[in-house]
Amino acid sequence: MTAPLHFADAREAADLAAFLARLIHYDRAAVVRIQAGGGALAVFGRPPSFEVLAIRTATLMDEAPLDITVSAGQLLEGIEESAGKAMIPAAVTGPPWTGVLPPRGGWQEVPGLPEAAELRAAVAAAVAEFRARDEELPAEHRTRAERDRIGREIWSRTIGATGLPLRAVHAAQSLGFLPAPGVPVALLGTGSWLRLRTPYGSVAVRTGGGLGGLSVTAVPHQR
């Protein structure tokens, strides 16, 4: 086990714990990649079905560099919210996505992103559409493959002319990055990556190829 990380603000320890809990909600065996250095922390996770990278950042008191992939559950267990620190568990062998992270620099704002209230409304409408189309399926066609096809069609739609797939907005809302309609949001881009950023976290997606060819499945629920 490496030395603990000390947060500049104890509340950031609680925020990271909430983020990890949401990842584990979607995947009990979730792993995260941690990158830290110069007083900054970035924790990357991939919730199943969304085909995005979720990113939670924080400010640290520590300056030493760290780059490690660990169990999200073990990291959550090692967070001491009252003390504002996190014990880092032993490294694990990460899945392929842990080696495909977005670049650190070169991001520029992409115009045309609606406000948070419109984004939340778009997700709600998509969820309602998925449920309605699912209920309309004849019994003999109500298969996982057919539901996945409907899900891919709906969640791959883009937001206006931005190129951002709707599944990225759904992921942001499900992970607590869009907790209220008035949350400021921004869309950034660099190369083949797009990043939806809010004060609570970011969701990054690679356009034109996904994350290493990972599949998209239907996500009819909200959180």
- Of the candidates 54, 63, 79, the residue with the CA atom closest to the CA atom of residue 198: 54
Question: 5-99: what fold?
Answer: DNA Polymerase III; Chain A, domain 2 (3.10.150)
Dist CA 75 CA 163 (whole Å)? 34
**Cβ within 8 Å of residue 207, ≥6 positions away:** 163, 165, 192, 193, 194
What are the residue ranges spanned by the domains of the chain? 5-99, 108-184
- pLDDT for 208 equals 66
- pLDDT for 221 equals 33
Residue 170 corresponds to which tokens in the numbers above? 């759904």
45 dihedral zone (left: phi>0; alpha: psi -120 to 50; beta): beta
Backbone angles phi, psi at 173, to 5 degrees: -70, -45
Backbone angles phi, psi at 68, to 5 degrees: -155, 145
Q: How many CA atoms lie within 13 A of 196 on its CB side?
A: 31
pTM: 0.88
Dist CA 3 CA 1 (whole Å)? 7
- Of the candidates 13, 31, 12, 21, the residue with the CA atom closest to the CA atom of residue 175: 21
Q: What is the pLDDT along the chain (223 residues), one digit of tens a residue?
A: 577 999 999 999 999 999 999 999 999 999 999 999 999 999 999 998 888 999 999 999 999 999 999 999 999 999 999 999 999 999 999 999 999 999 989 999 999 999 999 999 999 999 999 999 999 999 888 898 999 999 999 999 999 999 999 999 999 999 999 988 888 999 999 999 999 999 999 999 998 644 433 333 333 333 3
- pLDDT for 140 equals 86
- pLDDT for 220 equals 34
